[in-house]
Structure 1
Amino acid sequence: MPECITKLTNLWWLILSNNQVREIPECIVQSTSMRRLKVLDLSKNQIREIPESIAKNTFLSRLRQLNLSKNQIREMPEWISQSTDRYKLDL
C-alpha cells in the first residue's frame, strides 16, 4: 500500500477488497490526515490478524464501518468486542 494514500484527506470510503492485501495497512491506521475516512472495506483479502495498533489510536472511533469479511482471520482480539458499539464490524 503506497503511503501517499494518506494524503487523500477528503476520502470517506476506501475499498480495497479482493486485492490480496495481507495486513491492515499501518499507514492508514496511524494516519492523522485521513480523519474523514468512515468506511474501510478490506474484505476478500488474505489478512490473518487484526493488529493491536488499531485499538491504541483514534482509528476505530473515526470509522463507521470496517469490513474484514472473507479473510483468513482465525482469532479475534479481546478489545474488539468492547469497541464495536460505535461502528459496524463485518467479519
Structure 2
Amino acid sequence: MFVAAEVLGREHDVAARLLAQLVAHAEDHGIKDIFLGTTDKFLAAHRFYEKNGFLEVSKSELPRSFPLMAVDTKFYRRMITAA
C-alpha cells in the first residue's frame, strides 16, 4: 500500500490513521498477527513500522499463505492483543 506524496508526513497522519483502522479491525475480528513485506529501500517505512510495534522477522517465519512479492526483501510482524 502506498500513500500519495501530497499527503505524506505527520501533518496529514494518513499512514497512522490507516494503521489504527487496520489494528482495530484485526482486534474486532480476532486476528492475532499482522504480517507485511517491503523492500529494503523504504527506510522511512521501516521506521514507521518499528515505531508502531512491528518487529522484523525472517522470510521463513511468514505464514505459508503470505502473498510474497518479488520486490519484498524485508518482513515484519505485529502481534495483536485484544483491546
Q: TM-score, normalised by structure 2?
A: 0.29
Higher normalized contact order (CA 8 Å, seq sep 6+, divided by chain length)? 2
TM-score, normalised with respect to structure 1: 0.27
Between Structure 1 and Structure 2, the one with more helix by share is: 2
Larger Rg: 2
More strand by share: 2
